[in-house]
Structure 1
C-alpha cells in the first residue's frame, strides 16, 4: 500500500477471443481513493466496551440495595431493642445488658453507614468515568460510520428499532394481566379490561385559567335529578372553592348555559369550604375535604347545611400526602373521594401507615360516619388518581403526556392487592386532576387541565 493510501488491484483476465489472441492476458488497474479503514480504533472501542462490562456488573449494581436493606433491618431491630429497654428501665441488671446491646448495634449501624457512603462515592466515580468512556466510544463510532458508504449500519439500526417495537407490542399483549374478577354477586360486571375514549371532551365556561376542579353526576340522584351534572372549579388559588354549579343536561354543561349555583359559604376560603379538587356527589350531598382540616365535609344541597366527620388525627392534609408523579405534585390532593355501587369512600394516607393509602367507607347519614377501613401497601405519592368499582380500588399513574395507566387494584372483599394491571387511558391534556367512577352509567368522569372528559369502562363477563 502506498503512502498516499492508494492501492492498486491487479486483475488478470484470460482472453480467449480467437486463434491469434490465444494465450495472452489482459491486465486492469483498479484504484481506491478512500483512506484505509482505521482498524486500531475499532479494536480500542471493543476493548473499552469489554472493560465497561467488566466494571459494571449486576452484582455491583445491587450492592447498594443490599446495604440499604441491611441498614433498614438493623434500624428496625434497634427500635425493637429500644422499646424493650424502655420496658426494663427499672435500674436492674437486665436494663444494663439491653443498653450494652443497643450500644453495639449503634456501632454496627455506623459501620454500615460508612460502607454505604464509601460504596456510593465509588459508584459516583465509576459513573463519571464510564460516562466519559461512553462518550469517547460514541464519537469514535460516528467517525467509523463514515466508511459505511452503503449505509448498512443505518439500515441495521432501523431494523433493530422495528424489532424492538414489535417485541414491546408483543410483550404488552402477552403479559397484560387482567384486573380482578368481580363475581356476579358483586355488581355482575366481570373484570375490567379496558378504558375507551374519551367519549366526551369539552372546555368549561371558565376557560383554561382554572386547571383544578371536579365534575360529574350524582351517583345516587334524587327523583328528577337523574340528568343533572355538577361542576366545581377551584377559583381561589386553584386550591379552594365555595360553590357548586349545576346543569340540567350534558349539552348545557358542554355549552355552559343555564347553570344554577349553590353556595357553601359567601367567602372563600373559610371554614367548611372546599379544599382540593377531589369530591363526589351522592344522594344530593357533596363530600369533600373540609378547609384546613383532616375532616370529611358533607354539604346538603337542599338544606345548605354542613356536617363533618374527622379522619384519624395523623391523616395527611394541606399537601402532606398528595397525589404526585416524578414531574409534578398535585397540590391539596391528600384526600380523594370515590363512589361505587355501594356508596361513598374516602382515600387518604396516614403517618402510622407510612404514607400508604388508606380506604374508609363513609356512611352517608347526617352527620356522616366512618365505617370499615382498609390499609394498603400503596404509597400515595406514587399515585396520580384513584377510583372505586364494586368495592375494588383502582389507582393510576402518569406514564407520559399522552397516557395514564391503571396499574394497581385493591379488593376490599378479599384484601387482594395487585400491582400488575396495565390498562391505559388516552389523555387529551397532560394532567388528570380528578377522576371518579359513576355506577349509573359506568363512566369515568375526569377533570384534566381545565377540560371535562368522560371515558367508558369496559368489562368482560366471566362464565
Structure 2
C-alpha cells in the first residue's frame, strides 16, 4: 500500500510537489474487485492578481482626496469670511448697545441696515453648520447671539415706530416755521389788509402741511384753512372737513397750527339732518361756516358760537355748471379784504362765472358782476381785494391762474401764474386776507401758498 502511494507522486504537477504539506488535502486508497483505485484531494492557491479591486480603490482614493481638498478650500474661504464678519459683528454689537441707550438717534434706514447685516450673519453661520455637518458649541453660541440681537433690534424698531408720528409732527412744525421765515425773505409783502398793489404777481412753491389728513385715501373731498375774519381769542384757529363724496356734514376746529398737525381738535360740529351741504367750496368767516346746502338748493351758514343756522335761497344760481374737478360745486364762497363773496353761474350767463357780494348782516346779495370765465373749464376761483382770479389745469402737476376780473373797475386780464400741485385734482382753493395765503385741499393734502403782489 505505501508503495502505491509513492509511485503516484511523480505523476503530479511539479508545482504541486513544492507546496507545503498544509496546502495538500487528504487522500485514501480503496480496492474493488482486486483492482487498485486512489483518490486524492488537493487545494490549489488563487494565483490571479486583483487588478479590478486595485483600480476601484485608486478611484475611491482620488475622489476622497478631491473632496478633502474641496472641504479644505471651503474652510479657508469660510475662515476668511468669518474673520471679516466677526469684526463687523463686533461693530454691530457696539451699535446695538448704542441703540439701546439712545434709540432716538436712529432712523428707519439704520434699522433696515442692521436687520440686513444680521440676516447675512445668520446665513453665514447656517452655511458653516451645514458644510461642517456637525454641531459646534462656538457656532451654536454665535447663532443664538445673532438671534437674540435680531429680537432686540426688532423691539427697538417697534419702539421707534411708535414715536414716528411724534417725530413727523415736530418736523412739520419746524417746516412751517422755516416756511414762515422763508416767506419773509422771499416775499416783500404790503401790510395785511392793504390793497395798494397791482394784483397777484406770483405765488410761492407749495407748502405741504399734511398728507392724507383723514388717514384714509378715500377722503378726496374737503377743505381746510383759517378764519378769514377771526373773533378775538381765535386768531390762530384752523378748520378742516373731509368726506368720501362731494358732500358737507361735519367740521373740525383746532386752536392753533400745532393742534392741526397733531389732529387734536378742540371741538367738532356735525350738521344735523336737513342741514347737510354739497360741494366743497366753503369757508369760515367771522366764526361762521358758509356752505352750499341742498334740497332745496340754497346758501347756508352755521354760527360756530351759537350753533345757529341761517339760509338764503339762490333762485338765479344754476345747478347745471360746476368746476372741472368736482361735481356739485355750484356756490363758491370766498372772503378777502373787501368782505364776503359767492361765485356761481346762471342760465342767462350760459356757464360764465358770476361774482356776487354778500351783505353779512342780512345774508343777502348786494351786487353782481358777470365775467368771461367759463366755469366748466375752470379748476377753481377765489377773491383777492375785490378781484376774482380763476385757475385752469396746465398738466397733472401744474395749475395756472389765467384770468382775473376787477369788480371795482370791470377790467379783465389774462395772465399765467403757475401753482404746483401734489395731485391732479383739488376741490377747495381760497384766499385768506389775514395772512395773504392761498389754501388748497388737494386730494387729502393740506397745501398752502404765499402770495406776492406787484408794487403799485
Tell me the residue number matched to 1:408: 403
3-state SS, counterpart of residue 361 of structure 1: strand
Rounded to whole Å, the distance in 2 between the matches of 1:335 and 1:222 is 25
Tell me the residue number matched to 1:225: 234
Tell me the residue number matched to 2:43: none
Rounded to whole Å, the distance in 2 between the matches of 1:186 and 1:457 is 13
| 2:348 is the counterpart of 1:345 | no
Shift, 1:207, TM fit: 2.8
Relative to structure 1, is the Cα distance of residues 289 and 383 closer, same or farther in structure 2, using a 3 angstrom cutoff?
A: same
Shift, 1:261, TM fit: 0.3
Rounded to whole Å, the distance in 2 between the matches of 1:189 and 1:271 is 44
Tell me the residue number matched to 2:384: 389
Rounded to whole Å, the distance in 2 between the matches of 1:453 and 1:355 is 28
Q: What is the CA deviation profile of residues 191-233 of structure 1, one whole-angstrom value per residue up to 9, with x for unaligned ones?
A: 3111112123312134322000011111110100000100011
Q: State the TM-score, normalized to the length of structure 1.
A: 0.55
Rounded to whole Å, the distance in 1 between the matches of 2:198 and 2:412 is 17
| 2:208 is the counterpart of 1:200 | yes
Q: What is the CA deviation profile of residues 225-274 of structure 1, one whole-angstrom value per residue up to 9, with x for unaligned ones?
A: 00010001125xx1222221001111221221244202221xxxx42212
Tell me the residue number matched to 1:242: 249
Rounded to whole Å, the distance in 2 between the matches of 1:373 and 1:424 is 28
**The 10-residue stretch of structure 1 (186-195 or 289-298) with the greater mean CA deviation from structure 2:** 186-195
Rounded to whole Å, the distance in 1 between the matches of 2:275 and 2:339 is 22
| 2:297 is the counterpart of 1:303 | no
Shift, 1:283, TM fit: 0.5
Tell me the residue number matched to 1:256: 263
Rounded to whole Å, the distance in 1 between the matches of 2:310 and 2:277 is 13
Q: Is the 8 A contact 1:294 1:316 kept in 2?
A: no
3-state SS, counterpart of residue 271 of structure 1: coil
Rounded to whole Å, the distance in 1 between the matches of 2:296 and 2:350 is 20
Tell me the residue number matched to 1:398: 393
Relative to structure 1, is the Cα distance of residues 417 and 186 closer, same or farther in structure 2, using a 3 angstrom cutoff?
A: farther
Q: Is the 8 A contact 1:200 1:455 kept in 2?
A: no
| 2:449 is the counterpart of 1:455 | yes
Shift, 1:360, TM fit: 0.5
Moved over 4 A (4+): none
3-state SS, counterpart of residue 381 of structure 1: helix
Rounded to whole Å, the distance in 2 between the matches of 1:211 and 1:292 is 23
Rounded to whole Å, the distance in 2 between the matches of 1:208 and 1:201 is 16
Rounded to whole Å, the distance in 1 between the matches of 2:199 and 2:318 is 32
Rounded to whole Å, the distance in 2 between the matches of 1:247 and 1:309 is 28
Tell me the residue number matched to 1:316: 318
3-state SS, counterpart of residue 422 of structure 1: strand
Shift, 1:307, TM fit: 0.7
3-state SS, counterpart of residue 217 of structure 2: helix
1:290 alignment partner, one of 281, 286, 293: 293
3-state SS, counterpart of residue 307 of structure 1: strand
Tell me the residue number matched to 2:372: 377
Q: Provide structure 2 residue ranges, at least 5 long, that are not aligned to the other structure.
A: 1-189
| 2:434 is the counterpart of 1:444 | no
Rounded to whole Å, the distance in 2 between the matches of 1:248 and 1:306 is 23
2:350 alignment partner, one of 335, 354, 360: 354
Q: Larger Rg: 1 or 2?
A: 2
Rounded to whole Å, the distance in 1 between the matches of 2:288 and 2:385 is 21
Shift, 1:359, TM fit: 0.7
Rounded to whole Å, the distance in 2 between the matches of 1:293 and 1:345 is 21
Q: Is the 8 A contact 1:410 1:416 kept in 2?
A: yes
Shift, 1:332, TM fit: 1.0
Shift, 1:389, TM fit: 0.4
Shift, 1:304, TM fit: 1.0
